[in-house]
Amino acid sequence: MAPAAISNPNRCDRGFVGNTIGQANAVSNKALDLRFCKFAGANLSGKTLSGAYMNEADMSGANMREVVLTKAYAVGANLRGADLTNAVIDRVAFDGVDLEGAQLVNAVITGTTFTGANLKDANFEDALIGSEDAKRLCANPTLVGESRDQVGCRQ
């Protein structure tokens, strides 16, 4: 259940539009508040969700191909099975996020945290991952098998 402080019932509709001002620096004329929104199976491909508050949002199975996520806060979100192929994921808090089976193929991942995230069967094939990000990913016990190899974990 969403907290009472989230009062605009139409705020989730902005997820289908995204931010349009100053995307690279996550600057917009209005906060992109997607907290607790339901986007399961939605088509969000190509959207700019920079600076978005996405905590506890349900984006499971969503088409998020070529999404730009810069300076986003997604703690506790559900991205299980989401397709983030060719996405730009820069300075995102994915702590506690369920990314099981997510497709991060050819994604650019920099400055992002995955503390406590579920990375089981996540696909990082051909992803460009910063060295510090790779270290953090490799420390996650749910990153196993082929996913570990794709990230470049040594052991």
Strands laid side by side in the 88-90 sheet: 68-70, 88-90, 108-110, 128-129
| 52 Cβ contact list (under 8 Å, min separation 6) | 15, 19, 32, 33, 34, 69, 72, 73, 74
> What CATH code is assigned to 30-155?
2.160.20.80
Residue 127 has which token pair?
């992803």
The partner residues of 68 in beta bridges, in order of sequence, read 48, 88
The answer to whether 26 touches 33, Cβ cutoff 8 Å, is no
Supply angle C-alpha 29, 33, 37, rounded to 5. Answer: 150
Residue by residue, pLDDT tens for the chain (155 residues) are 445 445 666 778 777 766 654 445 545 456 789 999 999 999 999 999 999 999 999 999 999 999 999 999 999 999 999 999 999 999 999 999 999 999 999 999 999 999 999 999 999 999 999 999 999 999 999 999 999 999 999 87
CB atoms within 10 A of CB 117: 28
With CA atoms as reference, report the closest residue to 119 among 68, 82, 86. 82
